[in-house]
């Protein structure tokens, strides 16, 4: 997890393409909205590995949002219920349910259906928002944060020194072999 945080910090504060960081955020939101522990979440996670995005941002956003997502479960539950009870989609859902292995995805769970729908709907707005916020962050906020007393004090703590060491190691790896990551 420390390496993922280090990759995210490095990507956010370096010249990595802002679209890759934004895509990582979007994947993180999508994965956080889906209940984990079913075949569908695992399959979607593995599918995400084939796309070009910042893995650290995806893992960090997923982990942080998983803590807050239970607060939106009533909303995603209602969305899932509406989708699963749409009359026009009933034959499709019946076919899916009768297909081997598909029921293991728990697609017929209201939280899974609602989380998937909400994640897909939020994908583009999250991508656009993060993509728009990265340049102002890099130009205005980052220099002020880097020189603050709080950051200097945090760097002395063991956990943050490990993250700093991981960021430095990743920087050195990228500098010596640009195709490594």
3-state secondary structure of 35: coil
The distance in angstroms from the start CA to the end CA of the chain is 17
Using one digit for the tens of pLDDT, what is the confidence trace for 29-55?
999 999 988 888 998 999 999 998 888
What is the pLDDT at residue 108? 87
Between helices 18-33 and 2-13, what is the axis angle to 10°?
Answer: 140
3-state secondary structure of 6: helix
Cα atoms in the 13 Å half-sphere on the side-chain side of 70: 2
Proportion of the chain above pLDDT 70, given as a percent: 73
Using one digit for the tens of pLDDT, what is the confidence trace for 8-35?
666 666 657 888 889 999 999 999 999 9
Predicted confidence band at 118 (pLDDT cuts at 50, 70, 90)?
very high
Using one digit for the tens of pLDDT, what is the confidence trace for 98-111?
988 888 888 889 99
What is the pLDDT at residue 18? 86
Residues in the chain, overall count: 181
């Amino acid at each position: 997890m420390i390496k993922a945080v280090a990759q995210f910090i490095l990507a956010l504060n370096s010249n990595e393409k802002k679209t890759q960081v934004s895509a990582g955020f979007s994947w993180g939101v999508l994965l956080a909205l889906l209940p984990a522990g079913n075949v569908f979440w695992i399959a979607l996670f593995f599918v995400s590995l084939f796309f070009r995005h910042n893995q650290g941002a995806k893992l960090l956003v997923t982990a942080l949002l998983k803590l807050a997502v239970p607060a939106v479960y009533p909303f995603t539950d209602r969305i899932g219920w509406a989708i699963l009870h749409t009359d026009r989609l009933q034959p499709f859902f019946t076919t899916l349910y009768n297909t081997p292995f598909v029921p293991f995805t728990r697609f017929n769970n209201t939280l899974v259906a609602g989380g998937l729908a909400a994640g897909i709907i939020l994908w583009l707005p999250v991508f656009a928002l993060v993509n728009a916020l990265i340049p102002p962050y890099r130009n205005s906020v980052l220099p002020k944060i880097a020189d603050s007393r709080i950051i200097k004090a945090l760097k002395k703590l063991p956990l943050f020194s490990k993250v700093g060491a991981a960021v430095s190691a990743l920087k050195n790896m990228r500098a010596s072999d640009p195709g490594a990551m």
